[in-house]
Amino acid sequence: MVERVLQLNREKTIFWVFFSILLLFFGFYMYFIRTTIGNVVARQNLENEASALSLSIGGKEFEYITKRNTITLALAHSLGFKDSQNKTFISRNPSTEVAYLSN
């Protein structure tokens, strides 16, 4: 009789241990599903924002090209720009050296 009671207690313990493990796994499963859904939504929002920014950049590039094509020499002179008399060019010779003064 004592042996039968000990065996029932052991089965109860095993049942509750497995039930606890099952609840723990279910909790982890729900957490990971929630995290995955949150990441998918965040990625979709970032993709929408990236496409909106790309469209904005395209519009700004078109506006820049349009304004660049309207600049003429007459417009530059009317804004106060003058032709340069002394033209200086930078050498592309890689053997040039730079002097550095330390105080």
The pTM assigned to this predicted structure is 0.53
Percent of the chain scoring above 70 in pLDDT? 83
Q: Tell me how far the alpha carbon of residue 65 is from its chain's centroid.
A: 28
With vertex at residue 23, the alpha carbon angle to CA 14 and CA 38, rounded to the nearest 5 degrees, is 160
Which residue would you say has higher pLDDT here, 12 or 56? 56
Q: How many Cβ atoms are within 10 Å of 63's Cβ, its own excluded?
A: 10
Predicted confidence (pLDDT) per residue in 8-30, tens digit:
678 888 999 999 999 999 999 99
Spatial neighbors of 3 by CB under 8 A, at least 6 apart, are: none
Which residue would you say has higher pLDDT here, 87 or 77? 77
pLDDT score for 89 = 76
Q: Where are the domains of the chain?
A: 2-56
